[in-house]
Every structure is written in structure tokens, then in C-alpha cells.
A and B are shown apart, each in its own frame.
Chain A
Amino acid sequence: MLNKEQIYHELSRCNKCGTCQVICPTYKATFHEGNVARGRLFLVRKYLEQGDQVLLQAKEVIQSLDQCLLCESCTKVCPSGVRTAEVVLYYRQQLLAAQTAKSKWKEKLYRLAFLNKAFIPFAGKMAYYYKNIGILPDPYQFRTFLSKYIDGQVLKNNPGTGIVLRATGRRKYKISFFVGCAINTFYHRAALASINLLRRWADVTLLDNYCCGAPFLSLGDVDSFKEVAGRNLDLFNREKTDFIVTDCSTCASVLKQYPARLGVSAPVLAQLKDLVEILLLEQEELPRVKDSGGQKFTFHYPCHLVRGQNLKEPTQRLLSNLFGSYYRPHLEDDSCCGGAGTYSILHRQLAQKITAAKLANIQNSGATQVVSSCPACLMQLDAVVKRLSLPLEVKPLAVFLQKALEESK
């Protein structure tokens, strides 16, 4: 976490050139200065310079900083490399500290949900039953996803944690599989596909892990983040495998940030890999896929894959090598889809606008399938595809890849 001086150093490098407008998804959905890095930095700077508490109370200021996706696209195009997402996180931290106990419902809810392993699946199930007896209120995400995806959970329907799933091919590694909350709850089939892919080369054990902490981080709840991170690190340190792998790019990116954010050294994290990295490592072992069901597809590069882990170019190469011209890049294919964790629920309208813009680019590429490696992106893309009745299919990377490999056998 950056301290006040470091934040000030970030702020003072912004010289208001406006370049960030070209990429900031929230700006492109509203064309409002409150929704772009330049404006957000200005507000936080004003807060720091004037120490004015009004800036922790005014609805418009809070909204501006609340609506940042933390996607870090602005930092990529910013000639001064200002890390706006860190500045926003700092503000949120101050905001949370200044709030009265009563208004901290979000923090409490998050703690209940993400520090407690059973909660999310439980909440998901409840929502599902609610839906079936017809009294679930509108949030469209729940309506569309839960009915489709709450069909089981990785941890419940499988042999469970700690049990070794033997390699199906020549065993090269031992892998511990980190099960992200959203994957566990909504994309159980993706996790199974990932595990099957990994078993081509490795013995796989399911980890009994905690939430990676991303929701706390984006809320500005540093204490809870540190708590959950500490628990995970303890767990990792006990693992005796070659790699710890997750198929959620957000988890992977946040886990990799632990040392920097906690200010500790954690050599064990050198073993932490995004599923994509293992696929890259074993690229030669993957058969060239002749076609992906004859259908063109495109890949949405999640923020946490591109900017969080710097894995865009290698992933691009992987897809081109495997699929040739069936892989169709789309314009701004690494811009945030608007999912951003709970953002799509808390800022629904804005999120939908951002996603719709993304989907228009996707359709222009001529692809009929969208593949991605982060559950929040997948959910958001899928929800808006359904809402707009677009002729597109949204698929998790592992599911897509497994199917393609099977078909080309």
C-alpha cells in the first residue's frame, strides 16, 4: 500500500494533459471529467492539499472515485506513468476510515462473505432457490448467471481438498490448484476443465484456500485484505508442490501482489502461476488445433492478465499459434469490460454501457465466441450479451480450450 508521500508523488506527476481520456472506459461511457483519471487525481489532490473533510463526504466526489474500475489502463497510456488505481485505493482507504460504523455495511458484508469460505456458495445457493420460488429482486446478474451456473461447486462435488488427482499424461509436475471464489461458485465447469488440462502434465491437488482478497482491496479495507492474504500465505508455505496454479487471472494477479502490498517477502509466490503461464510453458505439448468448431473467436484480455501480470503478448502468441486465423483480435481487446468484481452490481448502468461498447468491438471483429480468463469478465460479458440478445457465446478459456482439443483429436 502506498503511503501519503508516495501518493503525493503520483499525484504531482499528473500534468493534466488529458491523454487518459483515450482509454479510460468510464470516461468513454460518460464523457465526463469526473470519470477519468485526470479528474480523479485532481479530486484526491484537492483532498490531500486542502485536507478538506468535505471531500470525504460529497456525493459527487465519492461517486467519481467509487466508479473507477481500477483497471490501470490509464497508467499504460499516461506519459508520466501515474498510477491512478493506487491513488483511488488510497482515497477509498481514507473514506472507509472516516465513515461511521453505520455506513460500513459494505465492509461488514464483504468480511462476512470473503473471510468465510462457506458464504459465497451459500449465498449463491440461496439466491438460486429464491429465484426458483420467484421472489428474487431484479439484479439481472443473479437472474441470468445463477440459473445457469450454480450447478455445483468444485470443492463439494470433487474428491475434495488435499486429495491428489493423478496426471493423465506424463507427469512432470505437482500442482496445487487455487480455487477462486467466483470460479468456485459460478464457473465450476471451468475449474474442472482447467484441472483436466493441468493433469496432462501434473498431479493436481485442490487447495483449501481463502479468497484472494481482491474485494477487500477494491473497497479500501486494508486490514481485512492483510488478514486474508496472511492466511493464504501460511497455506502456500505448507504446500510442497512445484506450482500453485489458478485459472482466475484476477486471483493470480492479486496473489502476486502480496509481497508489495504486505511489505513482506514471500519466495513461495515464485511458484504461483496463472493457468495461462502453464499453458505457455507446455505450448509445444498442445496439439495444433485445426479449427475451433469452424467458428471464429476472440479473446478478451482481462485487466488482471494484461496490466496485472503483463501476459498479453505471450497469450496472444499462444492463441495465434494454436488457432491461426480462427483467432480474431478485436479493437481495444485489453480494455476493461466493466465487470470489475462487484462493480457490475454496484454501478450497474455504467458497467452495462462499458460492456456494450466492448461487445460492439467484439462483434466488429467477426467473432462469434468470446473467450476470457477471469470469471468477473465472463459474467459481465455474458449478462450483457443476453440482455442485448447478441449472437455471441461467452466461454471460459479452459472450457473453450478443452473442447477444441477434444474436437481436433
Chain B
Amino acid sequence: MPSNVELFLRALGRHFRADQLLVNKQALSLYSFDASPYFGQPAAVFFPESTQEVANFLSMAAKFKVETLPRGAGTNLSGGTVPKRGQVIICLSRMRHILAIDWEREYAVVEPGVTNLELQRAVEAKGYMFAPDPGSMNVATIGGHVAENAGGMRCVKYGVTRDHILGLELVTAEGKIFRLGKLALLDGKYAINSRVNTANLVDLIVGSEGTLGVVTQVMVKLLKKPAAYKTLLCSFNDLRQAGDAVSGVIKAGIVPAAMEIIDQKLTRAIDDFVGLGLPRDTQALLLIELDGWEADLSVQMEHLMQILHANGVTRVDLATDSKEREQIWLARRSVNGALGRIKPYYMVQDVTVPRHKVATMIQKVEEIGKKYGVTIGLLAHAGDGNLHPHLLYSDRERELPQIEAAAEEIFQATVKLEGTLSGEHGIGIEKRPYLNLVFRPAELEFLQAVKDAFDPCRLLNLDKAI
């Protein structure tokens, strides 16, 4: 007797074009991974081209009781798109249209497969931007941003993806289509629904990692780009001094767009890639960007320099033109990728602590690295307390136990400092075993009830965040 999956695939074959469906074993292995260290072979991959196709697909999957999971660009770092249970993947990379841009009301409506870069390119000529800017912004999809509630360098000042989503279209695991939040259609055109003022379901979906439904349209806020920038690279002899400088800046009431700490190992690796002539001998690099009106910026700069000097800065380089600024940001965005230059594998963590505890947490991470003999490259969105220790290794079998032990201890240290496990990379497969460190049993049960409400048959992206 053919299995449910086989029957389902046959039905799909009748419904959709051959090039929308991937079933060959070798080709499927290409979808067995994302940017995390996990693997799992999918049963098939389906490429929808419209909301209706997503809905048809999901209602058929529900009929045959076949498990599925959504995928965007596959750049998440926590295994969110890895089909550990042999699911069928819905890959949204071909739903890539920008459906509407309203310059008056400053929003855009996009399909989930549009990348952050494509959106920026569509709006920048008119002086606008979409504020979230994760390191992966050149390729990561807006659907993936929504599902992971992606943050970025600018989120100190501008907030995370959640703060920029006005509305969504969602297809549930049973194939029902809902419009949530302010996304509305008026006479066949997109419009802001200003009447909604009830429970905000959008916020529930943002960050749910593809466990509650498949996002098929996203209404995003557009912001005016700042008139001027000041981008500084500050060198310190000690990571903790950099951490203290960050607290100092925040205490002084200055709100930079970004404050990023990069340690020496990573500085060298990215300099090898970008060839920018970064200060390779510095122990810690603090990248600060101020943005706003030129006049305000000079005043802020004065205060900022005082704070930096008070915390023992050894050198400050200021980007002189927009090209230099872009290079600096390219360098920063290249960190994850450039790690391959140090060791081939890494596990990156995403722990977040209250901002004034960044320096303490850095110290903890360094100690843990020493204790387990693990090379740790440290990167931090220090401005919002989000640390990315990169635990590097060469030999999967031999070193993984130490890596995992070190990782667990970092999690525990975070919780002790009243922090949380994931700032922006999501729970996925990676952090699921640690959920009970941050949630009480009753809270976990409640999350399960939410899952049941959206996905009563339990078919969508199981064993992940929720």
C-alpha cells in the first residue's frame, strides 16, 4: 500500500507543474540543510507561485495528514528549515513580487520570497528604507525575517522586524487564508485597515518560526533614510572595556543606530576578506554608527568621544565617505561567512543579556571558552545586549561534545544574568532542548495550546520553536 506521503505526492503531481515539484533524492539533499549545523532529508520540495497555491497545497497536506514546513532563503542559523522528520518543504523563493508601494502612507506589500536587498533597492531611490538589516540581508527573505523576527545592526535605534510589520497574510496548516493586522484589500487594491484595534495577531505570528502558518504577504513600514551618518571604528585593548563603553553611551542618552563589538579573531578573518586595513592588533573593535541630522550629529559626536576616551579607547577611525561606510558595513556583515577562514565549522549563539551586563557576559564567555578549550570568536550587537559567541571547530565527531558542553554553560550563564537564549536567530532545533531554562512548565503548555489553535492536526514544522 502506498504511504500517505506517496499518495500526497501523486496528488500534487496532478495539481501542479512538474517544475514546481522536486522529488529526486539527490536534488532533495540540497534542501536537507540551512546555515545551521543540522541535516534532515525532505520527502519533497514544492515551489508555490501564489497564495492560492500555498492554500491548495496545505489543504491537500492536511487531507493526507502529511507534515510540511516553510522555507525562505535557508539562511537561518538554528535549523528552522531542516526537515528532521522528513517533511515536505514549501519553498517560497519563487514568490518574489513587490505587490504595492504606497509612498504617501509609507508602506509596501511584498510576497514572502522578496529579499531584504530587493526591497531596499525598490525604495531607496525615493529616499526610503526598510529598517531591519540582519547580516544576511542580501539574501534572506522578508518571510524569513517575519518568521524569525530578525534583528540587525540598526535595531538599537530602530527595533527588530516586529516593529516594522503592519500586517500579514497567513495560510494556516489547514489551508485557510487570513489577513491579519492592517493589511486590507479595497477595490482590488492594497490599503491600510485603520479599524483594527483588537488583539494583535500579527505580533503572535512574527517570531513563530513557521510553526503557526505560512506567511504569503507582508505589509512593511517604510522609513525615511537618515540625512547623515557618522560611522566610527573604535579600538580597545580589552573586550570588557568595549562593553563598558557601550553601557556608557547608553547611560548618556545617546542612541546610536548601531553598536557592534567584534573581537580580534573575527576582525582578522574579515579583514582577510574585505582588505579594508582594519586595526588587526586591537583586542576589541567597537563599531558605532550615529545617524540623523548633520547638526545633531556633531553634538552627539563630542559626547561620544568623551565617553570613548573615558573607557580607554586606543584609536578611533571615522569613515570619510559613503564608500568607506559601505565597506565597513560589508566587513561587519561578512563575519559569519568569513569564519570559514579560521575553522570550517561553527555553532553560533544568540544569547541576550540586559545591556549593562554585556561586559560581565563577555567575561563569562571568555572563561567558558578557556575552561573547555574551545576557540570562541565573539561578535555582539552590544547596543541591545545581544551576543553572538561563535564556537569554532574543525572535527565534527571529536570536538562536538566540548562545543555542546560549552554552549550549555553559556546558556546557563545567560539565564543567571537574567538574559534569554535567543535575541534574533530563533529557537529552531538548536535551542529547543533548552526551552525549559527560560519558560515555566505552565508557559510551555500555553504555547502548545496556541499551536493547537493554529495547527490542530499538528502538521506544520513540528519539534521546532513551538
- Given known pairs A21-B139, A82-B340, the reply for A39 and B35 (CB within 8 Å) is no
| Residues of chain B within 8 A of A64, CB atoms compared | 27, 30
Q: Check A18 against B73 for contact (C-beta < 8 Å).
A: yes
Interface membership of A259, Cβ < 8 A = no
CA distance A59 to B35 in the complex (A): 26
Complex alpha-carbon distance, A55 and B26, angstroms = 8
Q: Let me know if B26 and A18 touch, CB within 8 A.
A: no
A34 to B31, CA, bound (A): 9
A15-B35, A17-B75 known; A79 vs B139 contact (CB < 8 Å): no
Q: Does B346 contact A (CB under 8 A)?
A: yes
The one of A18, A31, A82 in contact with B35, judged by C-beta atoms closer than 8 angstroms, is A18
Separation of A58 and B75 alpha carbons in the complex (Å): 27
Query: What B residues does A61 contact at CB under 8 A?
Result: 26
> Given A31-B93, A60-B27, A79-B270, do A13 and B139 touch, yes or no (CB 8 Å)?
no
Interface string of B419-449 (1 = CB under 8 A from A): 0000000000000000000000000000000
Interface positions, chain B 328-343, Cβ under 8 Å from A, are 334-341
Q: Is B103 an interface residue (CB 8 A)?
A: no
Given contact pairs A15-B345, A60-B27, A79-B334, A22 touches B33 in the complex (Cβ within 8 A): no
State whether the Cβ of B194 lies closer than 8 Å to any Cβ in chain A: no
Contacts of B25 in A (CB 8 A): 58
Contact check, B340 vs A18: say whether CB atoms are below 8 A apart. no
The answer to whether B139 and A22 have CB atoms under 8 Å apart is yes
A255 at the interface (CB under 8 A from B): no
Binary flags per residue of B46-76, CB closer than 8 Å to A gives 1, else 0 = 0100000000000000000000000001110
* CB within 8 Å for A34 and B27 given contacts A22-B139, A80-B340: yes
Contact bitstring A269-284, B, C-beta under 8 A = 1, else 0: 0000000000000000
Q: Does B29 contact A (CB under 8 A)?
A: yes
Given A13-B344, A18-B136, A42-B29, does the pair A80, B113 have CB atoms closer than 8 Å?
no
Question: Are A78 and B73 interface neighbours, CB within 8 A?
Answer: no
A113-133, CB < 8 A from B: none
Hey, which chain B residues are within 8 Å of A33, CB to CB? 30-31, 74
Chain A, 1-26, contact with B by CB distance < 8 Å: what is the 0/1 string?
A: 00000000000111111110110000
Docked-complex contact A80 and B341, CB < 8 angstroms: yes
Chain B neighbourhood of A18, CB < 8 A: 34-35, 73-75, 136, 139-140
Name the residue of chain A whose CB is nearest to the CB of B137: A22
Specify the chain B residue showing the minimal Cβ separation from A46: B29
B contact residues around A195 at 8 Å (CB): none
Q: Does A204 contact B (CB under 8 A)?
A: no
**Assembled-state Cα–Cα distance A81/B334 (Å):** 11
B94 on interface, CB distance cutoff 8 Å: yes
Decide: A31 and B94 in contact? CB cutoff 8 A.
yes
Q: CB-nearest residue of chain A relative to B47?
A: A31
Q: Flag whether A109 is at the interface (Cβ < 8 A).
A: no
Report B-chain residues with C-beta under 8 Å of the C-beta of A58: 24-26
B96 sits at the interface (CB 8 A): yes
| Given A31-B93, A31-B96, A81-B273; A15-B336 close (CB under 8 Å) | yes
Given known A-B contacts A60-B26, A79-B270, A81-B273, A16 and B96 have beta carbons under 8 A apart: no
Contact A15 B340, beta carbon cutoff 8 Å: yes
Distance of A360 Cα from B426 Cα, bound (Å): 37
The CA-CA distance from A54 to B73 in the complex, in Å, is 27
Bound form: Cα–Cα A126–B155 in Å: 64
Q: Produce 1/0 per residue, B1-37, CB < 8 A to A.
A: 0000000000000000000001011110111011100
Give the chain A neighbours of B30 by CB distance below 8 A.
32-34, 39, 42-43, 64
Q: Is the CB of B344 within 8 A of A79?
A: no
| Residues from chain B with Cβ under 8 Å of A31 in the complex | 47, 91, 93-94, 96, 113
Looking at chain B, what size class is its interface with the partner chain?
35 or more
Shortest CB distance A149–B (Å): 34
Give the residue name and chain of the B residue nearest to A39 (CB). Answer: B30
B-chain residues with CB within 8 Å of residue A21 when the two chains form the complex: 73, 138-139
Partner of B24, one of A60, A77, A78: A60
CB-based nearest B residue for A40: B30
> Are the C-beta atoms of B26 and A13 separated by less than 8 Å?
no
In the complex, the chain B residue whose C-beta lies closest to that of A15 is: B340
B338, A80: Cβ atoms closer than 8 Å: yes
Provide the residues of chain A in CB contact with B33, threshold 8 Å: 16, 42
For B138, B337, B344, the residue with the greatest tally of chain A CB atoms inside 10 Å of its CB is B337
Complexed CA–CA distance, A12 and B339 (Å): 11
CB <8 Å contact, A54 and B35:
no
32-78 of chain A: CB within 8 A of chain B: 32-34, 39, 42-43, 46, 54-55, 58-61, 64, 77-78
In the complex, chain B residues whose CB is within 8 Å of the CB of A13: 340-341, 344
8 A Cβ contacts from B133-189 to A: 136, 138-140
A22 to B136, CA, bound (A): 10
A215-240 CB mask vs B (1 if < 8 Å, else 0) is 00000000000000000000000000
Q: Which of B26, B75, B336, B344 has the most CB of A within 10 A?
A: B26
B117 within 8 A of A: yes
Contact of B337 among A12, A60, A78 (CB under 8 A): A78
Instruction: Give chain B residues whose Cβ lies under 8 Å from the Cβ of A43.
Output: 26, 29-30
Closest to A63 in B: B27
- Residues of chain A within 8 A (CB-CB) of B138 are 19, 21-22, 77
A19 to chain B, nearest CB (A): 5
Per the bound structure, the CA–CA distance linking A46 and B24 in Å amounts to 16
C-alpha spacing A249/B35, complex, angstroms: 36
A58-B29 Cα distance, complex, nearest whole Å: 12
Tell me the nearest residue of chain B to A331, going by C-beta. Answer: B121
- Closest-CB distance, B333 to chain A (whole angstroms): 8
Q: How far is the CA of A80 from the CA of B344 in the complex (A)?
A: 10
- How far apart are the CA atoms of A19 and B334 in the complex, in Å? 9
Given contacts A79-B340, A80-B341, contact A17 B29 (CB under 8 A): no
CA A55 to CA B25, docked complex, whole Å: 11
Cβ of A19 and Cβ of B94 under 8 Å apart? no
CA distance A33 to B27 in the complex (A): 9
The residue on A at minimum CB distance from B34 is A16
Interface string of B385-406 (1 = CB under 8 A from A): 0000000000000000000000
B192-212 CB contacts (< 8 Å) to partner A: none
Closest chain B CB from A85 CB (angstroms): 17
Question: A residues within 8 A CB of B34?
Answer: 16, 18
Q: Which of B315-337 contact A (CB under 8 A)?
A: 334-337
A82: nearest chain-B partner, CB-CB: B340
Give chain B residues whose Cβ lies under 8 Å from the Cβ of A77.
Answer: 138
Assuming the A-B contacts A31-B94, A42-B30, are A79 and B337 also in contact, with contact meaning beta carbons closer than 8 angstroms in the complex?
yes
* Cα distance, A16 to B39, chains bound together (Å): 12
Q: Cα distance A59–B117 when bound, in Å?
A: 33
Q: Cα distance A82–B73 when bound, in Å?
A: 20
Q: Which among B29, B35, B140, B346 has the greatest number of chain A C-beta atoms within 10 A?
A: B29
Q: Which residues of B contact A81 (CB under 8 A)?
A: 273, 341
- CB of B26 within 8 A of CB of A54, answer yes
Which of B27, B117, B344 contacts A22, CB < 8 Å? B117
What are 21 A-B contacts defined by CB distance under 8 Å?
Answer: A14-B340, A15-B336, A15-B337, A15-B339, A15-B340, A15-B344, A15-B345, A16-B33, A18-B73, A18-B74, A19-B337, A32-B30, A33-B30, A42-B29, A46-B29, A60-B26, A60-B27, A80-B339, A81-B273, A81-B341, A82-B340
The 6 closest A-B CB pairs, nearest first, are A79-B337, A80-B340, A13-B340, A31-B93, A79-B334, A33-B30
Known contacts A13-B344, A18-B136, A81-B341; 12 additional CB pairs below 8 A are A15-B344, A15-B345, A17-B336, A18-B74, A19-B138, A22-B115, A22-B117, A31-B91, A42-B30, A58-B24, A79-B341, A81-B273
Interface residues in chain B, defined as those with a beta carbon under 8 Å from any beta carbon in chain A: 22, 24-27, 29-31, 33-35, 47, 73-75, 91, 93-94, 96, 113, 115, 117, 136, 138-140, 270, 273, 334-341, 344-346
